[in-house]
A and B are shown apart, each in its own frame.
Chain A
Amino acid sequence: MPALFAHGIGAGLPTGFEGRIFKRQGSGIEVANAVAQFATFALPEEVGDFGGGAVNLMGNDDIFTVLFEYGPDSLGTRLFAHQGLPRTLATSDFQPHVLRRGLTGQSGTQWFFTEAGRPFTFYAVLGSHARRSILVPRVNRLLEGLAVEPTAAPAASGAPWN
């Protein structure tokens, strides 16, 4: 199983997945935190943090997911009160209206939580809501292989928009 590790995030990729773990260049008031994107299709070189430029390329059997880290200012807030990365999602967790960009036929899910003392959101998109019974188990296999390590030193304060 191919494995990735960077910026305190590790992933064992199930068959058919590719991905990247990166930090964008911080610019001015924006603080760069870790972003991990995984997909079952070719991720373009330039993709928005939450799949802009990628989700419109998805086929019916495709999956796009992102694990997005927020700044330390978010720690302890109600939004990130849940402890731990979700490990098993149900088909009912995916809804067509939970999409940052509503594209016909797709559905998504989004979770906010704190893992290893770091605030995250996990966002996943299915290429076809009708095929969620097939696609959600694949998302769960990906979730099984995700791991987050505590950061060695807190990042600079600031709140990214996304």
Chain B
Amino acid sequence: MVALSVILGAVVLLLAVLVAGLLRSHADILKALHDLGAGVGDPVGDAHVHTSGPAQAGAQAVPLTMGPALAADRDSTSAPTVAGVTPTGDALAVAPATAGGLTLLAFLSTGCASCAGFWESFRRPEQLGLPAGTRLVVVTKGPEREIPGEVAALATPGLAVLMSSDAWTDYEVPGSPFFVLVDGTAGRRVGEGVANHISQVAELVRRAEVDTAAFTLDTRPGRDVGIDGPARESANDQELLDAGIRPGDPSLYPTSIEDLYGPPDARMPAARHHVRRAG
């Protein structure tokens, strides 16, 4: 019984020493924060009293910040242009605040486990559930932090992927995955946050789209011009090939008006016919 009491007393004594050590450590941390001007419940006036004393003459109140400070012309809703490189070595810049419509910036990494589901979802863009016209741009950290080959392996063709560490700083991204929705018509961020599944993100975008559509008038025409884009140029190339005209064909490099329209007596057959009949 005596032995048990002695052991119990020793344990209590040991725990007391540990608690005292923790309290001392906590006090040191609070003191350090206090000296930095970020003490909990520490009013500015109180800091002034402490820093103006002779013993604290060298101390200055320094605001506690997380990461680099934002530029003076930016705030939590600004949406600066994102510029960087693609995994294949091209350059790409996206200006979501001035481009009109909604742009969803998906800040992803190659290594984070929770990002894998999003990379996989982006392989099937038709199943994402994003409103039509929403532009999706994946932003990874720059080539100094990510391996372009690994990013390229995850990026499906047709998906805009941009590598830029500056973009993570500009948008104050705390970690990945992180999503920012920008309304280009209003020129500002309208939503941001973390999600576990693409359906959560799609729901956020759908709600924003409803709000945007209710209060904006898009003046861009969106003209129907039939076959367009690279498909139009490919069709033109095929037409030329079918006609036996290959790159470098002399007919592509006319040097005179005759090269374009033939000799003068061969032009405008209808007019020539008319002249003959009149004569």
List of B residues within 8 angstroms of A162 by Cβ: 233
- Min Cβ gap A27→B in Å is 10
List of A residues within 8 angstroms of B86 by Cβ: 22
- Min Cβ gap A149→B in Å is 13
Residue of A nearest to B103 (CB): A42
List of A residues within 8 angstroms of B246 by Cβ: 29
List of B residues within 8 angstroms of A17 by Cβ: 81, 93, 95
Q: How far is the CA of A160 from the CA of B236 in the complex (A)?
A: 13
Task: Tell me the residues in window 24-40 of chain A with beta carbons closer than 8 Å to chain B beta carbons.
Answer: 29-31, 40
Residue B264 at the chain A interface, CB threshold 8 Å: no
Residue of B nearest to A78 (CB): B255
- Min Cβ gap B183→A in Å is 12
Whether A47 contacts B229 in the complex (CB less than 8 A), given A103-B223, A159-B247, A160-B247, comes out as yes
Residue B43 at the chain A interface, CB threshold 8 Å: no
Whether A18 contacts B223 in the complex (CB less than 8 A), given A30-B247, A40-B98, A52-B232, comes out as no
Residue A154 at the chain B interface, CB threshold 8 Å: no
Residue A4 at the chain B interface, CB threshold 8 Å: yes
Stretch at the interface among A54-62, A81-89, A90-98, A113-121: A54-62
Stretch at the interface among B2-10, B214-222, B270-278: B214-222
A42 and B101 contact, CB distance less than 8 A: yes
Q: How far is the CA of A158 from the CA of B135 in the complex (A)?
A: 36
Residue B150 at the chain A interface, CB threshold 8 Å: no
Residue A20 at the chain B interface, CB threshold 8 Å: yes
Q: Beyond A47-B230, A49-B233: 10 further Cβ-contacts under 8 Å?
A: A16-B98, A19-B91, A19-B93, A20-B91, A41-B99, A48-B228, A48-B230, A103-B225, A161-B236, A161-B237
- Min Cβ gap B85→A in Å is 7
Residue B19 at the chain A interface, CB threshold 8 Å: no
Identify A58's interface contact among B103, B221, B252, CB under 8 A.
Answer: B221
- Min Cβ gap A19→B in Å is 5
List of 4 A-B pairs having minimum Cβ-Cβ separation, nearest first = A53-B229, A42-B99, A6-B91, A22-B90
Report the interface size class on chain A: 35 or more
B85 and A13 contact, CB distance less than 8 A: no
Whether A20 contacts B184 in the complex (CB less than 8 A), given A29-B247, A52-B233, A59-B100, comes out as no
Residue B45 at the chain A interface, CB threshold 8 Å: no
Q: Which residues of A contact B (CB under 8 A)?
A: 2-7, 11, 13, 15-23, 29-31, 40-42, 44-50, 52-54, 56-60, 62, 73, 101, 103, 158-162
- Number of B positions contacting A (CB below 8 A): 42
List of B residues within 8 angstroms of A158 by Cβ: 247-248
Task: Tell me the residues in window 72-87 of chain B with beta carbons closer than 8 Å to chain A beta carbons.
Answer: 80-83, 85-86
- Min Cβ gap A107→B in Å is 15
Whether A20 contacts B101 in the complex (CB less than 8 A), given A45-B160, A48-B230, A159-B247, comes out as no
Q: How far is the CA of A15 from the CA of B83 in the complex (A)?
A: 13
Offer 28 A-B interface pairs, CB within 8 angstroms, sorted by A: A2-B95, A4-B83, A13-B93, A17-B81, A17-B95, A19-B91, A21-B90, A21-B91, A23-B90, A40-B99, A41-B100, A42-B99, A42-B101, A42-B135, A45-B160, A46-B158, A46-B230, A47-B230, A48-B230, A48-B232, A48-B233, A50-B233, A53-B230, A53-B232, A62-B220, A101-B225, A159-B248, A161-B252
Residue of B nearest to A9 (CB): B91
- Min Cβ gap A36→B in Å is 8
Residue of B nearest to A20 (CB): B92
List of A residues within 8 angstroms of B236 by Cβ: 161
List of A residues within 8 angstroms of B92 by Cβ: 4, 19-21
A59 and B220 contact, CB distance less than 8 A: yes
List of B residues within 8 angstroms of A58 by Cβ: 220-221
- Min Cβ gap B120→A in Å is 19
Residue of A nearest to B160 (CB): A45
- Min Cβ gap A6→B in Å is 4
B83 and A2 contact, CB distance less than 8 A: yes
Residue B94 at the chain A interface, CB threshold 8 Å: yes
Residue B89 at the chain A interface, CB threshold 8 Å: yes
